Amino acid sequence: MAKVPSPLDCACFNTRKTARVLGQVYDRALEPSGLKNTQFTALAVADAYDGISITDLSKAMEIERTTLTRNLKLLERDGLVKVGPGADGRSKTVILTAKGKRRLDGALPLWRQAHERMLREFGAKRWKSVQKELDAMRDRLHP
Amino acid sequence: MAKVPSPLDCACFNTRKTARVLGQVYDRALEPSGLKNTQFTALAVADAYDGISITDLSKAMEIERTTLTRNLKLLERDGLVKVGPGADGRSKTVILTAKGKRRLDGALPLWRQAHERMLREFGAKRWKSVQKELDAMRDRLHP
DNA sequence: GGTCGAATAGTGTATATACACGTCTTATGG
DNA sequence: CCATAAGACGTGTATATACACTATTCGACC
């Protein structure tokens, strides 16, 4: 008697709703910085890989390239990044402006606080394990 | 020497990107049904709790009520649900139409197939464990 | 050197998401 | 009964997300 799978156990649904909740939590923590969680991540990754191309950044964030293009547009509008010509006539490079760097630096302590609270309330080891499982999940199911 | 936490380990970022990837996977699987994963879930939950109110449905899906209102608008536009008056003069009830029920029934096998593929490629027991961890995470961190 | 496929990027369109507010309805206390 | 709080909903505004296309540029091959 195999149980019929319930849509409530859908992997998509469950990760999505968790992402929604975490998004709210982190957005509230980041609020004083004026950054949303996605923007914070984009800035952080762009800062880590300085002069990264849009496509590479989208791969690093595992986000649709065309989505990232639009997200970057907003960051550019606010003067946080500069999207300039790449090595190639095709590609473009994403660079944090001084303002962007300051903004990121201002947001980092807020994020760290939220992160540490998460580690405290959920468990650091536990999170590490979940993170690894999510990594594996993406690896196996990648579209 | 405690390590400085990296934004790449952000819980929000990691669950979000996983949700993005899974969203793509499931959306492609559901594509023949004409439903997106969120719509599929909404229909499934609304069907399970027939005549549920908008607020209660939003709680069941752990989605912002105002977001759900907009999502429901699209389902209503397509004639898949009917949002009618509730027991109360304030609340409203969400009911699947016959068309909505048919649509859901048509989508279910597609979802099931994707779900089973997921269980196969990732591991059924493993998913059950991850799901439990995600539940716990939301419980502890709820905004 | 011209052609053609691959790489890189942007746009049109549509859905999803959340917050701050405003509206209307019910419940509660005097 | 009335005033006020609490509950349920919708809207304005803004960001996030993805797919199908289109345009441009590089590189490889003849």
> Is nucleic acid strand D under 7 Å from A142's C-beta?
no
pLDDT digits (tens, 9 = 90+) for A36-92: 999 999 999 999 999 999 999 999 999 999 999 999 999 999 999 999 999 999 999
Write the burial class of residue B7 (CB in 10 Å: 0-12 exposed, 13-18 middle, 19+ buried).
buried
Identity of the amino acid at B67: T
Indicate if the pLDDT at residue A2 is higher than 70.
no
- B4, B8, B16, B38: best to mutate for the A interface, most A CBs within 10 A: B16
Total domain count for chain B?
Answer: 1
Identify whether B5 is part of a domain. Answer: no
Give the structural domain span for B96: 35-137
The residues in A 23-42 lying below 8 A from B, measured between CB atoms, are 23-26, 28, 37-38, 40-41
The stretch A112-133 carries a mean pLDDT of 98
CATH number of the domain that B56 lies in?
1.10.10.10
pLDDT digits (tens, 9 = 90+) for B63-111: 999 999 999 999 999 999 999 999 999 999 999 999 999 999 999 999 9
In this predicted structure, what is the pLDDT of residue A83? Answer: 97
CA distance B6 to B9: 6
The residues in B 81-100 lying below 8 A from A, measured between CB atoms, are none
- Given a contact cutoff of 8 angstroms between Cβ atoms, the answer to whether A75 and A81 are in contact is yes
Question: What is the layout of strands, in order, in the sheet containing A81-85?
Answer: A52-53, A92-96, A81-85
Identify whether A134 is part of a domain. Answer: no
Q: Which residue is nearest to nucleotide C20 (CA to C1')?
A: B66
